[in-house]
């Protein structure tokens, strides 16, 4: 009897020590099997009760039941503690720390061409110019004929123009055909418009020329529009675009649709005219072509050149962006390299 009682005590101590070692609710099931289950150690001990005398049995049975109840109670407590610990661990592993700072997001930017086009349009808008949209797909007539290009003019040749299957329909090589469209749609004068948009030339792609590029055309038509007006508008443009105190210079040039025609330079924005790598030691940077609207073009637009005069200019947007943003190769613009777009924006 005493032997059985001390065995019970030993078993209780052993079982409790084993219970304290458990590290998961899962392992507590094995513990149950080892100690309290049908083939467990306590059940084995209780089989020994049969050998005891009748008088001894009740006390021994009571002691055994106490141990059993104590172990069951201890198991429930241990399982509850383990469950709680497992829940806390799971929560901290899967949980979101709402106090963490957010991850930075890449924010899109406007393309340097778009930014520059808007700057140009804003400057012109302050001088009273309105924006006019003209088509990118043009007829040969608008792109050349009505602009006074004679039939054999080199710019009409295959290497410059992108044709469609219809030989009369082409991709515009400049924004100037918009001049005719504006004049035909808006009569009588005054006209003061800018025409921004894409142009296409079937040229070799180099650091200075792309097959697709943007221009902003300007057109003013009125009764007493003079070359001085052209100069004033372009000088103001240069000052707004490239900084106060800029000088501009006119060089004689030839365009079929203007007479006289000029190319316009601004004093080098890098060296101020002393001569450097950017201006190739000349002190000047070419920014656009311009001139007084040719009488033939006025007439083709529905305006009588005896009564009306006008001036026009055309500037490459990428060219202005390159000068303002120190970009040395036009090919960067439409390669879509995110590093360029992030830097140049
Ligand atoms: N269309 C000309 C070009 O693409 C530029 C220009 C426009 C010149 C208007 C004079 C007047 O080179």
Mutate to test the pocket of ligand 1, among 147, 156, 176 (most ligand atoms within 8 A of CB): 176
For residue 107, the model assigns a pLDDT of 83
What is the Cβ-side half-sphere exposure of residue 342, based on CA atoms within 13 angstroms? Answer: 5
Clarify whether residues 87 and 117 are in a common domain.
no
Residues 211 and 82 in one domain: no
Residue 281 belongs to domain spanning: 112-344
Compute, in angstroms, the gap from residue 255 CA to the centroid of ligand 1.
7
Atom of ligand 1 nearest to the CA of 218: 9
Determine whether 155 is exposed, middle or buried from the number of CB atoms within 10 Å of its CB (0-12, 13-18, 19+). middle
Residue 159 has a pLDDT of 65
Question: Could you give the dihedral angle defined by the CA atoms of residues 9, 14, 17 and 18, in that order, rounded to the nearest 10 degrees?
Answer: -140
- Which of the two residues, 48 and 86, has the higher pLDDT score? 86
Q: Which residues line ligand 1 (CB under 6 A)?
A: 174, 176, 217, 255, 258, 261, 289-291, 312-314
Q: How far is the CA of 273 from the centre of ligand 1 (A)?
A: 25
Q: Within this chain, do residues 86 and 121 fall inside the same structural domain, yes or no?
A: no
Distances from the Cα of 98 to the Cαs of 28, 48, 101, 102, 214, in angstroms? 35, 61, 8, 9, 47
**For ligand 1, atom 7, which residue shows the shortest CA distance?**
314
- CATH classification of the domain holding 272: 3.30.930.10
Q: Are residues 54 and 173 in the same domain?
A: no
Angle subtended at Cα 64 by Cα 63 and Cα 67, rounded to the nearest 5 degrees: 90
Residue 229 domain-assigned (yes or no): yes
How far is Cα 65 from Cα 42, in angstroms, rounded to an integer? 10
Q: What is the per-residue pLDDT across 178-211, written as a single tens digit (0 to 9) for each?
A: 999 999 999 887 999 999 999 999 989 999 899 9
pLDDT beyond 70 at 144: yes
Q: Are residues 74 and 117 in the same domain?
A: no
- Residue 173 alpha carbon, nearest atom of ligand 1: 4
User: Does residue 254 lie in a domain region?
Assistant: yes
pLDDT of residue 126: 98
Candidate of 154, 175, 193, 289 to mutate for ligand 1, largest count of ligand atoms within 8 Å of Cβ: 289
Tell whether 70 and 188 lie within a shared domain: no
- C-alpha–C-alpha distance, residues 169 and 163, integer Å: 7
Do 156 and 88 share a domain, yes or no? no
- In a domain, residue 206? The reply is yes
- For residue 15, the model assigns a pLDDT of 87
Mutate to test the pocket of ligand 1, among 178, 219, 257, 261 (most ligand atoms within 8 A of CB): 257
pTM of this structure? 0.73
Q: Read off the pLDDT band of 269 (50, 70, 90).
A: confident
| The domain boundary residue, chosen from 64, 94, 124 | 94
Q: Are residues 83 and 117 in the same domain?
A: no
Residue 92 pLDDT greater than 80, yes or no: yes
Angle between helices 112-126 and 227-242 (to 10 degrees): 130
Distance between Cα 326 and ligand 1 center (Å):
24
pLDDT of residue 272: 85
- Cα 291 to ligand 1 centroid, rounded to whole Å: 8
Provide the pLDDT for residue 158: 65
- Tell me the best of 149, 255, 288 to mutate to test the pocket of ligand 1, counting ligand atoms within 8 Å of each CB and taking the most: 255
Distance 318 CA to ligand 1 centre (A): 15
Domain endpoint, select from 51, 66, 94:
94
Residues 285 and 319 in one domain: yes
Residue given tokens 């390299």 in the structure block:
337
303: phi > 0 → left, psi -120 to 50 → alpha, else beta; which? beta
In a domain, residue 31? The reply is: yes
Give the pLDDT of residue 277. 85
**Per-residue pLDDT at 18 exceeds 90:** no
- Distance CA(110)–CA(332), nearest Å, equals 15
Tell me the C-alpha distance between 341 and 14, whole Å: 72
Q: Are residues 74 and 129 in the same domain?
A: no
272 and 337 together in one domain: yes
Of 143, 121, 114, whose CA–CA distance to 194 is shortest? 121
Do 168 and 248 belong to one domain?
yes
pLDDT score recorded for residue 218: 98
Residue 140 counted as domain residue? yes
What are the backbone angles phi and psi of residue 260, rounded to the nearest 5°?
-70, 160
How many of the other CB atoms lie within 10 Å of CB of 284? 18
The confidence score (pLDDT) of residue 200 equals 97
Question: Whose CA is closest to 223, among 297, 126, 298?
Answer: 298
pLDDT band, very low/low/confident/very high, at 345 (cuts 50, 70, 90): low
Mean pLDDT of all residues belonging to the chain: 92
d(CA 300, CA 296): 6
DSSP line for 246-303:
--EEEEEEEETTEEEEEEEEEE-TTTTTS--TTTTTSSEEEEEEEEEEPHHHHHHTT-
For 30-51, how does the pLDDT look when each residue is reduced to its tens digit (9 = 90+)?
898 988 888 888 888 888 778 8
- 266 token code pair: 């601004």
**Tokens 């002393």, located at residue:** 274
Number of folded domains that form the chain: 2
pLDDT of residue 232: 98
Q: What is the pLDDT of residue 93?
A: 86
34 assigned to some structural domain: yes
**Preceding amide of 254 cis, omega within 30:** no
pLDDT over 70, % of the chain: 99
Where a domain ends, among 68, 94, 120?
94
DSSP per-residue string spanning 21-35: H--SHHHHHHHHHHH
Q: Which DSSP category does 49 fall into?
A: G
User: Mean pLDDT throughout 14-29?
Assistant: 87
Closest atom of ligand 1 to 199 CA is 4
Domain assignment present for residue 22? The answer is yes
- Classify burial at 18, counting beta carbons within 10 Å of its beta carbon; exposed 0-12, middle 13-18, buried 19 or more: middle
107 in a structural domain:
no
Q: Beta partners for 266? A: 248, 285
């Amino acid at each position: 009897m005493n032997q059985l009682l001390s065995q019970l005590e030993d078993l209780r101590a052993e079982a409790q020590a084993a219970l304290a070692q458990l590290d998961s609710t899962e392992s507590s099931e094995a513990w149950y099997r080892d100690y309290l289950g049908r083939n467990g150690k306590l059940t084995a001990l209780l089989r020994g009760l049969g050998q005891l005398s009748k008088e001894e049995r009740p006390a021994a049975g009571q002691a055994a039941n106490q141990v059993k109840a104590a172990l069951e109670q201890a198991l429930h407590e241990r399982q509850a503690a383990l469950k709680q610990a497992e829940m806390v661990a799971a929560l901290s592993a899967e949980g979101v720390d709402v106090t963490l700072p957010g991850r930075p997001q890449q924010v899109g930017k406007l393309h340097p061409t778009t930014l520059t086009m808007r700057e140009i349009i804003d400057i012109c808008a302050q001088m009273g110019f309105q924006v006019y949209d003209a088509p990118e797909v043009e007829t040969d007539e608008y792109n050349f004929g009505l602009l006074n290009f004679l039939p054999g003019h080199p710019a009409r040749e295959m290497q410059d123009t992108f044709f469609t299957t219809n030989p009369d329909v082409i991709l515009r090589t400049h924004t100037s055909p918009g001049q005719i469209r504006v004049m035909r749609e808006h009569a009588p004068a005054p006209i003061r418009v800018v025409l921004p948009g894409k142009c296409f030339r079937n040229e070799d792609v180099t650091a200075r020329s792309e097959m697709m590029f943007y221009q902003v055309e300007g057109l003013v038509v009125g009764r007493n529009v003079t070359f001085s007006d052209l100069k004033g508008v372009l000088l103001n443009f240069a000052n707004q675009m490239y900084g106060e105190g800029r000088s501009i210079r006119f060089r004689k040039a030839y365009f079929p649709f203007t007479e006289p025609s000029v190319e316009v330079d601004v004093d080098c924005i890098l060296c101020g005219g002393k001569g450097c790598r950017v201006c190739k030691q000349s002190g000047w940077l070419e920014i656009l072509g311009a001139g007084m609207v040719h009488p033939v073009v006025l007439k083709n637009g529905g305006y009588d050149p005896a009564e009306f005069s006008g001036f026009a200019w055309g500037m490459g947007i990428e060219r202005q962006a390159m000068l303002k943003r120190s970009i040395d190769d036009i090919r960067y613009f439409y390669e879509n390299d995110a590093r360029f777009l992030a830097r140049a924006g």
